[in-house]
Amino acid sequence: MENIIFHVDVNSAFLSWEAVHRLQQGETLDLREIPSAVAGDKNKRHGIILAKSTQAKQCGVQTGEPIVDALKKCPNLTLIPPSHNLYSQYSKAFTDILSDFSPCVEKCSIDEAYCDMTGMEALFGSPVEAAHKIKDRVRNELGFTVNVGISNNKLLAKMASDFRKPDMAHTLYPSEIKSKMWPLPVGELFFVGKSTVKKLNTLGIYTIGELANTNVEILKAHLKKHGEVIHCFANGIDASLISQEEVKNKGYGNSTTISFDVEEESTAKMILLSLADTVASRLRSDDMMANVVSVSIVDSEFRNSSHQTTLLSPTHRTDEIHKAACSLFEELWDGSPIRNLGIQTSKVVANDTARQMNLFSFETDEKREKLDQAIDKIRDRFGTSAIQRASLYKKPEQEKIDKE
């Protein structure tokens, strides 16, 4: 049976949810019908546009740009502070509806999710019919709109959901790639940021189709592993599966929104070390180990990307988690300025679970285990700042992170 995957994306989520909530509270003005935007505190790092109305977009307002720049383009822009608790409520209501249509829903962010609709035709009709039923029910019951992308894998479904908006359903099956996806600018491809676009343009690659038909060895020579990944994506190849699995303990992860744009790999890896140190310490505190490590990146354009790997054996050591995170980062990062980094672990097991030992590094591994334990004891007694790893000591970047 051929897979059928939906990607369901809320249109202008934060702004839509603010608008619906205010209308339910008795307001007569719909924020979606005027130049408006949800934005953070303009005096802080978060003083940027988080979501915008169609009218604001027509004025040139862009998600992720500073408020001051947005106001220059649209002086009559109505600004709304974010209400994260409200957004969580609407997000849950949204995914609850999706769960009525699919037994397998993967929530990939607060406003988007994947649904495995394979074999559901007998209940909801053809994939296009089912997509319209989902989006119409969300609109009628919750008051906001979504786009639904339909395909055989997650990548193409996500690409399809980004086609014409709002309140639309689109297909992008492998047979439609050449006509629907290849003519698009290469920057429209998932995982291709601004810096990658510049590199591709210097190679004479301007469309997704040109990328798809470029020799992958040329791409690897200029973009390393990332070149191979986007070449697969340009050809519609994506082997990732929809997963409902939730992390058993959400505390075994950490992320940070950075007060400056990270553009150097060394700085990013230093931040990952700080995050790995915290995550590993929490695992050890609960006497647990992790089998899976994942890294997430949010760039300055609010593009979200993540990647995970299964370890050879479970661990709660800082150096092992950091090593895995750095390897994932190298595969994931396209060079775009970074505003948020995160490390998450999953498939956690008790510390007494049998693990694969390396005969050639047994003594070194044992010493590192004892070192981590010693660091934990010192911090438990004298505070987390009592001892630091040398690579983090008095780094200006770390000082900025600590203030966040």
* Pairing between β-strand 78-80 and β-strand 36-39 as defined by DSSP bridges: parallel
Query: Would you name the residues annotated as active-site residues?
Result: 112
Evaluate if residue 388 carries a pLDDT over 60: no
Q: For residue 375, what are its two tokens?
A: 């660091």
Q: What are the Cα distances from residue 315, in Å, to 195, 246, 276, 351, 387? A: 35, 19, 12, 8, 22
pLDDT of residue 363: 46
Burial environment of residue 181 by CB neighbours within 10 A (0 to 12, 13 to 18, 19 or more): buried
Residue indicated by tokens 């209400």: 83
pLDDT tens digits, 190-230: 888 888 899 999 999 999 999 999 999 999 999 888 899 89
pTM of the model: 0.69
CA distance 291 to 65: 38
DSSP string, 250-277: TTSEEEEEEEEEE--HHHHHHHHHHHHH
pLDDT tens digits, 313-356: 888 888 899 999 999 998 888 888 888 899 998 888 876 554 54
Domains of the chain: 14-84 (3.40.1170.60), 182-234 (1.10.150.20), 253-403 (3.30.1490.100)
Q: For residue 229, what are its two tokens?
A: 């990944």
